[in-house]
Structure 1
Amino acid sequence: MEPSRWERAKYGAAMGGAVGLCIGLVFGGLSAMRNGPGRNGYVNNLAQTMMSSTAMFAFFMAIGSVIRTEEALAIDYAELDQNKGRKNIWGGAMRFKTPPVVILQQQQQQQQQQRQEN
């Protein structure tokens, strides 16, 4: 069973948080070594850099994970291929005669017509 969008967002946020934490540690440490502690001291400056990068990476990775969900568009391309088993002149498998998006639109129109008839 595929994870839901909410679960994918949580996984993306966790991965982004881990990456952001590491990047915040590296860049915050480099910044503290180059520029000094500033007003807040080394630890507070480093913590602020780590938390801001963690929040940013987690947010964007969560959004990216949700965008990439393909559960609504699970397509069996082998079923849609109209040129099964045929080869092109270079010996490779032939591509679609009709793009898959057009085929899906045609299938959706047929389903709508069947619903209207019933």
Structure 2
Amino acid sequence: MPVAGVTARGGQQQQPSCYDRMKLGFGIGFCVGMASGAPFGGFGALRAGFRGRELIQHVGKTMMQGGGTFGTFMAIGTGIRC
């Protein structure tokens, strides 16, 4: 098994930049936030009595808000660790 960080020719691989790590952190956080926003938004919309188009719009809005919020905090946390 090859050693991490070493290419087949023996040279060192370049580590991702801090900006690339922050983008990855935002992407992962966005996905997690959207996944958690779906059940929370769905239950909240059903509890409020939304049906049909209103239900879908509320769930989508909650998913986007959760994804953006969690993605931002993950990017900030990743930036602190750089």
Q: TM-score, normalised by structure 1?
A: 0.54
TM-fit CA distance, 1:3 = 1.1
Partner of 2:79: 66
Give the 3-state SS of the residue equivalent to 1:37 in structure 2: coil
Give the 3-state SS of the residue equivalent to 2:50 in structure 1: coil
Partner of 1:45: 58
Q: TM-score, normalised by structure 2?
A: 0.76
Q: Which has the higher helix share?
A: 2
Q: Which has the larger radius of gyration?
A: 1
Gaps (5+ residues) in structure 1? 70-118
TM-fit CA distance, 1:51 = 0.6
Partner of 1:32: 45
Larger RCO (alpha carbons 8 Å, 6+ apart) = 2
Separation in 1, partners of 2:81, 2:32: 19
Query: Which letter does structure 1 place at the counterpart of 2:60?
Result: A
Query: Which letter does structure 1 place at the counterpart of 2:54?
Result: G
**Identical counterparts, % of pairs:** 38
Q: What is the root-mean-square deviation in Å for CA atoms of aligned residues?
A: 1.5
Instruction: Please identify runs of 4+ aligned residues in structure 1 that moved more than 2 A.
Output: none
TM-fit CA distance, 1:50 = 0.5
TM-fit CA distance, 1:9 = 0.6
Give the 3-state SS of the residue equivalent to 1:62 in structure 2: helix
Separation in 2, partners of 1:26, 1:68: 31
Gaps (5+ residues) in structure 2? 1-13
Instruction: Report how many residues are paired.
Output: 68
